[in-house]
Amino acid sequence: MKTNAIRIKEYGGPEVLNYEEVDLPALSSGEARINHTAIGLNFIDTYHRTGLYPIDLPSGIGSEAAGIVDEVAGDVKEIKVGDRVVYTGRPTDAYSQSRNYPAIQLVRIPDAVTDEEAASVFLKGLTAWYLLRRSYRVKSGDIILFHAAAGGVGLLASQWANHLGAIVIGVVSNDKKANLARKHGCKHIVMADDEKIASKVRELTGGEGVTAVYDSIGKDTFFSSLDTLRPHGVMVTFGNASGPVDPFAPGELAKRHSLYVTRPVLFDFINTREKLLSASNELFDLVSKGVLKVNINQRYALKDVAQAHRDIESRKTTGSTILIP
């Protein structure tokens, strides 16, 4: 069987993303074949493309998609032909019209959620889940700082944290994104190019600082994020948009009054089917009830994925972006 997919043969810029016809092998034990209806675009895809997060080359790319189950191996029990499903994780081959994938990692999409919503919210929503519900468990009355608050993860996390009773301070790069972040749960906004972010956050918190910081920017913001925390505060670093954080001495945490730093990874929290389904149910329950509003603000044809990568890397996008196979 033939299908069209994006392949990369070397690390580099968006130009290394090639739209090709590829062979789709017969199903192996435990696999299902999915005809994609919508593919999620995530910043981690750019890390795989550049080699910041290495993958074996040549390779497909993409970590999230939704679609219809077209065929299942004889030993598959988790799903059946015709099911609408969504998934996230490796192997990275979601940028394709059809693919084979381990059935144990597929999740049925609830009737109240569309394929496009599922593809745009699954990885970002599970990221918000493990940040707010596992890495540092946000509770009512907490004050948190969230970088890239108008991005796909940021908009979901801000709504979720607000639902949990927290006060959210969002960091954004322009006025348009500031307005978007406010509409999705951010009570206060700090601009990303402000050299005195820590001072601004102290002003907004009566000098106390925030309970937790969620930082996906990495190198450029790591120490300024630490400076926004109150004593015993928690720094959750979960991305490297500006590059990986440089090594630092543990004494930096001590002199800022006994801080904590964690670098969690989603797949450590959903490493069994039971955990995956539990997290997915919590996420889709909030989407179905309208607590989490899904913002699909950009759509690109799969063959135009290079432009989608240019736009997300230059911060031209807001909310979620999907690729149409």
The residue segments making up the domain with residue 83 are: 2-122+270-324
Do 11 and 28 form a contact (C-beta atoms < 8 A)? no
Q: Which residues of 3-16 are buried (b: 16+ CB within 10 A; e: fewer)?
A: bebbbbeeeeebeb
* pLDDT of 319: 80
Question: Do residues 43 and 60 share a domain?
Answer: yes
In a domain, 134, yes or no: no
Question: Do residues 221 and 248 share a domain?
Answer: yes
Which residues in the chain show pLDDT less than 50? none
In a domain, 128, yes or no: no
Tell which of 263, 282, 315 closes a domain: 263
Question: Do residues 274 and 171 share a domain?
Answer: no
Tell which of 263, 296, 312 closes a domain: 263
* pLDDT of 76: 97
Question: Do residues 68 and 39 share a domain?
Answer: yes
Candidates 254, 250, 265; CA nearest to 231 is: 254
Question: Do residues 69 and 107 share a domain?
Answer: yes
Question: Do residues 241 and 219 share a domain?
Answer: yes
* pLDDT of 90: 86
In a domain, 135, yes or no: no
Question: Do residues 243 and 228 share a domain?
Answer: yes
Domain CATH code at residue 155: 3.40.50.720
* pLDDT of 315: 83
* pLDDT of 253: 96
* pLDDT of 26: 96
* pLDDT of 195: 80
Tell which of 244, 263, 282 closes a domain: 263
Q: How many domains does the chain have?
A: 2
Cβ neighbours, 10 Å, residue 2: 10
